[in-house]
Amino acid sequence: MGEGISDYTKFCVDLRRHMWMAGVETELRRLIWQIAVTGKYISAKIHESNRKLAGFKNIFGEEQLALDKSSDAILKNQLQFSGFVREYASEEQDQIVQIGTGAEKYFVTADPLDGSSLVDTNLAIGTIIGIHNGAMYGKGRDTMVAALYITYGPLITMVYSAGKGTHEFVLNREGEYVLSQENIRLKEKGDIYSLGGLRKDWTPEHLRFVEYLEDEGYKLRYSGGFVPDINQVLIKNGGIFTYPALKKSPHGKLRLLFELLPMAFLMEQAGGEATDGKQAILDISVEDIGQRCPIYIGSRFEVGKAREFLEEVQT
Ligand code: F6P
Ligand code: MN
């Protein structure tokens, strides 16, 4: 995987060159490039934002920042004129938008500005993208060909996979995405954990799993932004992120199509795993764009342990 590229990492390898050397198919390469460039425009919007609420709610009843809406509009416009995208589904829109002629093969999903409520505190936020070929309903394992996220933090980074490993790029001062980590690999077992949901709302089996991690001395790392929290597990090469089923919301909080599938794709490509406790996230069938599900994602050891604890009640 990625052989032949490593020799070049001592030079400055930019995103386009990396994808070309890795043999990513031409249209997909151009699409990923276009989305990465769009990240720069979104970042510019973040910088010029006044951080005021737009006074709207999205389809999930969450307050939308003006930034959420403009990030969505920027992405949609850019994809519309790429010529490669048939349909666009966004967490900020209540239905799938047809943006192509109907002949294009790619379907793109977006969480345009994940964690936007953290903007006022100046914590990292991000954009999450899934790229599907032919359809976005069905199992991600059958439809997904690529995924990426962009992190807007002290640095702007972009992590992508087109099914040939997971790679990180940093946006440099010249505005180029330069390779910073090729073929990110998770250790079998890590030492950090990131826990969504309130302890009082957790199920007894999830609580027992968390107590196990605490007894084992895992360090708590949770920012409340899905992108930086997942990024932390990937870049530190191990650990686990969970957003579990809650007593009152058995499907958890995070959305399968916009948030979980892209991260599961990236994590599996880095040698990690992602499950809802019973099946791999990539094997869950998408039937509704707003579908939510619990998630345990990260190193194989911790995800396997989570499965053991959850199985105790499932069988
Ligand atoms: O998109 C939803 C989101 O903001 C994620 O970025 C994050 O992981 C999660 O919600 C945080 O949820 P909570 O506020 O319940 O910890
Ligand atoms: Mn989100």
Least confident of 61-75, 153-167, 171-185: 61-75
- The answer to whether residues 263 and 297 touch, using CB atoms and an 8 Å cutoff, is yes
Q: 90 vs 27, 72, 128, 210, 313, CA distance in Å?
A: 21, 7, 10, 32, 35
Residue 100, pLDDT above cutoff 50: yes
Q: Say how many Å lie between the CA of residue 117 and the centre of ligand 2.
A: 10
For residue 166, what are the contacts with CB-CB under 8 A and spacing of at least 6?
Answer: 159, 160, 183, 184, 234, 266, 267, 269, 270
Cα of 271 vs centre of ligand 1, distance in Å, is 24
* Residue 213: count of CB within 10 angstroms of its CB: 22
Q: Is residue 271 lining ligand 1, measured as CB closer than 6 Å?
A: no
Give residue 12 CA to ligand 2 midpoint distance, Å.
32
Query: How many whole angstroms separate alpha carbon 47 and alpha carbon 87?
Result: 29
Residues measured by CB to lie within 5 Å of ligand 2, the ion? 111, 114
CATH code for residues 192-314: 3.40.190.80
Question: Which ligand 1 atom minimizes the distance to the CA of 118?
Answer: 4
pLDDT, mean of residues 60-72: 78
Cα 177 to middle of ligand 2, angstroms: 24
Nearest to 193 by CA among 305, 276, 102, 291: 305
Determine if residue 94 is left, alpha or beta; phi over 0 gives left, psi from -120 to 50 gives alpha, anything else beta. Answer: alpha
Mean of per-residue pLDDT scores for the chain: 92
The predicted pLDDT at position 133 comes to 98
For residue 138, the surrounding DSSP H or E stretch is: strand 138-139
What is the CATH T-level fold of the domain 2-181, as seen in this structure?
Fructose-1,6-Bisphosphatase; Chain A, domain 1 (3.30.540)
For the chain, residues classed under CATH 3.30.540.10 are 2-181
* 277 pocket-lining for ligand 1 (C-beta < 6 Å): no
281-299 residue pLDDT tens = 999 999 999 999 999 999 9
Q: Is the CB of 114 within 6 Å of ligand 1?
A: yes
Measure the CA–CA gap between 158 and 128, rounded to whole angstroms: 10
Residue 59 reports pLDDT greater than 90: no
pLDDT digits (tens, 9 = 90+) for 203-235: 999 999 999 999 999 999 999 999 999 999 999
